[in-house]
Amino acid sequence: MVKSEIQNVKLRFGIIGNCEGLNRAIDVAIQVAPTDLSVLVTGESGVGKESFPQIVHQFSRRKHGPYIAVNCGAIPEGTIDSELFGHEKGAFTGADTAKTGYFDMAKGGTLFLDEIGTMSYEIQSLLLRVLQENTYAPVGGRERTADVRIIAATNEDMQLAIREGRFREDLYHRLNEFTIRVPLLSECGEDILPLAEFFLKQFSARYGKSVQGFDREAAAMLRQYGWPGNIRELKNVMERSAIICDEEVTVQDLPIDLQCAEIY
Protein backbone atom coordinates (compact mmCIF):
# COMPACT_ATOMS: atom_id res chain seq x y z
CA MET A 1 0.00 0.00 0.00
CA VAL A 2 1.31 3.47 -0.88
CA LYS A 3 2.17 5.90 1.92
CA SER A 4 -0.71 8.25 1.10
CA GLU A 5 -3.24 5.44 1.60
CA ILE A 6 -1.68 4.49 4.94
CA GLN A 7 -1.79 8.15 5.98
CA ASN A 8 -5.50 8.30 5.12
CA VAL A 9 -6.09 5.27 7.36
CA LYS A 10 -4.23 6.99 10.21
CA LEU A 11 -6.36 10.10 9.85
CA ARG A 12 -9.55 8.08 9.76
CA PHE A 13 -8.75 6.07 12.88
CA GLY A 14 -6.84 8.71 14.85
CA ILE A 15 -3.48 6.94 14.68
CA ILE A 16 -0.37 9.07 15.17
CA GLY A 17 3.10 7.94 14.15
CA ASN A 18 5.19 7.07 11.14
CA CYS A 19 7.59 4.35 12.25
CA GLU A 20 8.14 1.36 9.99
CA GLY A 21 6.55 -1.14 12.39
CA LEU A 22 3.37 0.89 12.73
CA ASN A 23 3.05 1.42 8.98
CA ARG A 24 3.61 -2.28 8.44
CA ALA A 25 0.87 -3.20 10.92
CA ILE A 26 -1.60 -0.89 9.18
CA ASP A 27 -0.64 -2.26 5.78
CA VAL A 28 -1.15 -5.85 6.96
CA ALA A 29 -4.55 -4.96 8.47
CA ILE A 30 -5.74 -3.51 5.15
CA GLN A 31 -4.41 -6.45 3.13
CA VAL A 32 -6.09 -9.12 5.29
CA ALA A 33 -9.38 -7.22 5.69
CA PRO A 34 -11.08 -8.41 2.44
CA THR A 35 -10.57 -12.06 3.43
CA ASP A 36 -12.61 -13.79 6.12
CA LEU A 37 -9.56 -15.19 7.90
CA SER A 38 -9.34 -15.09 11.67
CA VAL A 39 -6.81 -12.49 12.83
CA LEU A 40 -4.70 -12.34 15.98
CA VAL A 41 -3.48 -8.88 17.03
CA THR A 42 -0.42 -9.07 19.29
CA GLY A 43 1.53 -6.49 21.23
CA GLU A 44 2.26 -5.42 24.78
CA SER A 45 -0.28 -3.65 26.95
CA GLY A 46 -0.75 0.01 26.03
CA VAL A 47 0.45 -0.11 22.40
CA GLY A 48 -2.97 0.62 20.89
CA LYS A 49 -4.05 -2.82 19.66
CA GLU A 50 -7.73 -1.85 19.79
CA SER A 51 -7.50 0.27 16.62
CA PHE A 52 -6.50 -2.62 14.36
CA PRO A 53 -9.61 -4.82 14.65
CA GLN A 54 -11.63 -1.74 13.72
CA ILE A 55 -9.45 -1.17 10.65
CA VAL A 56 -9.90 -4.79 9.57
CA HIS A 57 -13.67 -4.55 10.06
CA GLN A 58 -14.11 -1.26 8.22
CA PHE A 59 -12.13 -2.45 5.20
CA SER A 60 -13.87 -5.85 5.04
CA ARG A 61 -17.00 -7.01 3.25
CA ARG A 62 -18.64 -7.08 6.70
CA LYS A 63 -18.22 -3.33 7.28
CA HIS A 64 -21.97 -2.72 7.17
CA GLY A 65 -22.55 -5.43 9.78
CA PRO A 66 -22.13 -5.01 13.54
CA TYR A 67 -18.76 -4.67 15.23
CA ILE A 68 -18.88 -6.17 18.74
CA ALA A 69 -15.87 -5.83 21.07
CA VAL A 70 -15.63 -8.13 24.09
CA ASN A 71 -13.08 -7.92 26.89
CA CYS A 72 -12.69 -11.58 27.81
CA GLY A 73 -10.82 -10.68 30.98
CA ALA A 74 -13.77 -8.66 32.31
CA ILE A 75 -16.37 -11.45 32.03
CA PRO A 76 -16.86 -13.55 35.20
CA GLU A 77 -15.58 -17.09 34.73
CA GLY A 78 -18.93 -18.75 35.36
CA THR A 79 -20.87 -16.69 32.81
CA ILE A 80 -18.58 -16.37 29.80
CA ASP A 81 -20.26 -19.18 27.83
CA SER A 82 -23.64 -17.50 28.36
CA GLU A 83 -22.16 -14.12 27.43
CA LEU A 84 -20.59 -15.44 24.23
CA PHE A 85 -23.30 -17.83 23.05
CA GLY A 86 -26.40 -16.67 24.94
CA HIS A 87 -28.86 -18.85 26.83
CA GLU A 88 -32.47 -19.92 26.63
CA LYS A 89 -35.07 -19.18 29.28
CA GLY A 90 -34.88 -21.80 32.01
CA ALA A 91 -31.49 -23.12 30.86
CA PHE A 92 -30.20 -22.86 34.43
CA THR A 93 -31.24 -21.52 37.82
CA GLY A 94 -31.82 -17.80 37.52
CA ALA A 95 -32.30 -17.80 33.74
CA ASP A 96 -35.72 -16.17 33.94
CA THR A 97 -35.44 -14.81 30.41
CA ALA A 98 -33.51 -15.71 27.28
CA LYS A 99 -30.25 -13.88 26.68
CA THR A 100 -28.69 -12.90 23.35
CA GLY A 101 -24.99 -13.75 23.21
CA TYR A 102 -22.22 -11.86 21.49
CA PHE A 103 -22.15 -14.30 18.57
CA ASP A 104 -25.78 -13.45 17.83
CA MET A 105 -25.15 -9.73 18.28
CA ALA A 106 -22.25 -9.85 15.80
CA LYS A 107 -24.12 -11.85 13.14
CA GLY A 108 -23.02 -10.69 9.69
CA GLY A 109 -20.20 -8.64 11.19
CA THR A 110 -17.07 -8.88 13.31
CA LEU A 111 -16.55 -10.17 16.86
CA PHE A 112 -13.43 -8.80 18.54
CA LEU A 113 -12.25 -10.90 21.49
CA ASP A 114 -9.79 -8.82 23.50
CA GLU A 115 -7.48 -10.41 26.10
CA ILE A 116 -8.10 -13.83 24.56
CA GLY A 117 -5.27 -15.26 26.68
CA THR A 118 -7.41 -14.93 29.83
CA MET A 119 -10.10 -17.28 28.49
CA SER A 120 -10.54 -20.51 30.45
CA TYR A 121 -9.52 -23.84 28.92
CA GLU A 122 -13.16 -24.99 28.89
CA ILE A 123 -14.35 -21.94 26.94
CA GLN A 124 -11.36 -22.27 24.62
CA SER A 125 -12.72 -25.72 23.69
CA LEU A 126 -16.13 -24.24 22.87
CA LEU A 127 -14.59 -21.46 20.81
CA LEU A 128 -12.44 -23.98 18.92
CA ARG A 129 -15.58 -25.90 17.97
CA VAL A 130 -17.15 -22.70 16.61
CA LEU A 131 -14.10 -22.03 14.46
CA GLN A 132 -13.87 -25.65 13.26
CA GLU A 133 -17.54 -26.33 12.56
CA ASN A 134 -18.89 -22.81 12.11
CA THR A 135 -21.70 -23.55 14.56
CA TYR A 136 -22.48 -22.82 18.21
CA ALA A 137 -25.29 -23.44 20.64
CA PRO A 138 -26.75 -21.12 23.28
CA VAL A 139 -26.82 -22.67 26.75
CA GLY A 140 -29.91 -24.87 26.74
CA GLY A 141 -30.56 -24.19 23.04
CA ARG A 142 -30.12 -25.66 19.59
CA GLU A 143 -27.18 -25.23 17.27
CA ARG A 144 -26.93 -22.14 15.11
CA THR A 145 -24.68 -21.14 12.24
CA ALA A 146 -21.90 -18.75 13.22
CA ASP A 147 -21.84 -15.93 10.70
CA VAL A 148 -19.07 -13.82 12.26
CA ARG A 149 -15.47 -12.94 11.56
CA ILE A 150 -13.29 -13.48 14.64
CA ILE A 151 -10.49 -11.09 15.55
CA ALA A 152 -8.64 -11.70 18.81
CA ALA A 153 -5.99 -9.71 20.65
CA THR A 154 -3.53 -10.53 23.39
CA ASN A 155 -0.57 -9.04 25.21
CA GLU A 156 0.58 -12.47 26.36
CA ASP A 157 3.38 -14.61 25.02
CA MET A 158 1.11 -17.23 23.48
CA GLN A 159 3.89 -19.75 22.86
CA LEU A 160 4.70 -19.64 26.58
CA ALA A 161 0.99 -19.98 27.45
CA ILE A 162 0.80 -23.06 25.21
CA ARG A 163 3.91 -24.64 26.79
CA GLU A 164 2.49 -24.01 30.27
CA GLY A 165 -0.82 -25.59 29.32
CA ARG A 166 -2.83 -22.39 29.71
CA PHE A 167 -3.85 -22.08 26.06
CA ARG A 168 -4.81 -24.68 23.48
CA GLU A 169 -2.33 -24.94 20.65
CA ASP A 170 -5.03 -25.97 18.16
CA LEU A 171 -7.12 -22.90 19.05
CA TYR A 172 -4.07 -20.68 18.74
CA HIS A 173 -3.50 -21.85 15.17
CA ARG A 174 -7.18 -21.33 14.34
CA LEU A 175 -7.09 -17.77 15.67
CA ASN A 176 -3.70 -17.08 14.19
CA GLU A 177 -4.56 -17.54 10.55
CA PHE A 178 -3.08 -14.06 10.19
CA THR A 179 -1.09 -12.00 12.69
CA ILE A 180 -0.85 -8.25 13.11
CA ARG A 181 1.95 -7.22 15.46
CA VAL A 182 1.66 -3.74 16.94
CA PRO A 183 5.13 -2.36 17.81
CA LEU A 184 6.32 -1.11 21.18
CA LEU A 185 6.53 2.64 21.62
CA SER A 186 10.26 2.22 22.28
CA GLU A 187 10.59 0.76 18.77
CA CYS A 188 9.09 3.94 17.31
CA GLY A 189 11.47 6.52 18.70
CA GLU A 190 10.68 9.15 16.08
CA ASP A 191 7.00 9.01 17.04
CA ILE A 192 7.44 9.73 20.76
CA LEU A 193 7.59 13.54 20.59
CA PRO A 194 4.74 13.94 18.04
CA LEU A 195 2.56 11.72 20.24
CA ALA A 196 3.60 13.58 23.38
CA GLU A 197 2.82 16.94 21.77
CA PHE A 198 -0.57 15.70 20.59
CA PHE A 199 -1.58 14.43 24.05
CA LEU A 200 -0.18 17.53 25.77
CA LYS A 201 -2.23 19.80 23.51
CA GLN A 202 -5.32 17.67 24.05
CA PHE A 203 -5.05 17.72 27.84
CA SER A 204 -4.04 21.38 27.99
CA ALA A 205 -7.29 22.26 26.24
CA ARG A 206 -9.24 19.97 28.57
CA TYR A 207 -7.85 21.62 31.70
CA GLY A 208 -7.94 25.18 30.35
CA LYS A 209 -4.16 25.51 30.21
CA SER A 210 -1.76 26.81 27.54
CA VAL A 211 1.25 24.53 27.99
CA GLN A 212 3.61 25.09 25.05
CA GLY A 213 5.68 21.98 24.38
CA PHE A 214 8.90 20.87 26.05
CA ASP A 215 12.27 22.40 26.76
CA ARG A 216 15.33 20.71 25.26
CA GLU A 217 16.16 18.58 28.30
CA ALA A 218 12.59 17.36 28.76
CA ALA A 219 12.30 16.48 25.07
CA ALA A 220 15.54 14.49 25.24
CA MET A 221 14.30 12.66 28.34
CA LEU A 222 11.06 11.70 26.62
CA ARG A 223 12.99 10.26 23.68
CA GLN A 224 15.44 8.32 25.89
CA TYR A 225 12.95 6.76 28.28
CA GLY A 226 12.07 3.09 27.77
CA TRP A 227 8.26 3.52 28.03
CA PRO A 228 7.39 0.12 29.53
CA GLY A 229 3.73 1.20 29.59
CA ASN A 230 3.88 2.24 25.92
CA ILE A 231 1.39 4.79 24.55
CA ARG A 232 -0.89 4.47 27.57
CA GLU A 233 1.95 5.49 29.88
CA LEU A 234 2.92 8.41 27.62
CA LYS A 235 -0.67 9.62 27.62
CA ASN A 236 -0.81 9.49 31.44
CA VAL A 237 2.45 11.42 31.71
CA MET A 238 1.17 14.12 29.36
CA GLU A 239 -2.05 14.49 31.32
CA ARG A 240 -0.03 14.96 34.50
CA SER A 241 2.18 17.54 32.77
CA ALA A 242 -0.82 19.46 31.47
CA ILE A 243 -2.23 19.67 34.97
CA ILE A 244 0.91 20.86 36.80
CA CYS A 245 2.48 23.07 34.10
CA ASP A 246 1.50 26.53 32.95
CA GLU A 247 4.05 27.14 30.19
CA GLU A 248 6.77 24.78 28.96
CA VAL A 249 7.32 21.26 30.32
CA THR A 250 10.69 20.89 32.02
CA VAL A 251 12.53 17.87 33.45
CA GLN A 252 11.27 18.77 36.92
CA ASP A 253 7.70 18.42 35.69
CA LEU A 254 8.20 14.82 34.60
CA PRO A 255 7.72 11.75 36.86
CA ILE A 256 10.71 10.31 38.69
CA ASP A 257 10.71 7.25 36.40
CA LEU A 258 11.61 9.48 33.48
CA GLN A 259 14.12 11.49 35.50
CA CYS A 260 15.95 8.19 36.15
CA ALA A 261 15.77 7.20 32.47
CA GLU A 262 19.45 6.25 32.42
CA ILE A 263 18.64 3.03 34.30
CA TYR A 264 16.75 1.69 31.23
| Local confidence pLDDT in tens for the 264 residues of the chain | 667 889 999 999 999 999 999 999 999 999 999 999 999 999 999 999 999 999 999 999 999 999 999 998 888 777 888 889 988 887 777 778 888 899 999 999 999 999 999 988 888 998 999 999 999 888 888 888 999 999 999 999 999 999 999 999 999 999 999 999 999 999 999 999 999 999 999 999 999 988 889 999 999 999 999 999 999 999 999 999 999 988 899 998 898 878 776 544
Contact 57, 102 (CB under 8 A): no
- For residue 113, give the H/E element and its range: strand 110-114
Q: Look at residue 264 in the predicted model and tell me its pLDDT.
A: 40
Closest alpha carbon to 10 in 196, 191, 219: 191
Specify the DSSP class assigned to residue 199. Answer: H
Do the beta carbons of residue 209 and residue 170 sit within 8 Å? Answer: no
For the entire predicted model, the pTM comes to: 0.90
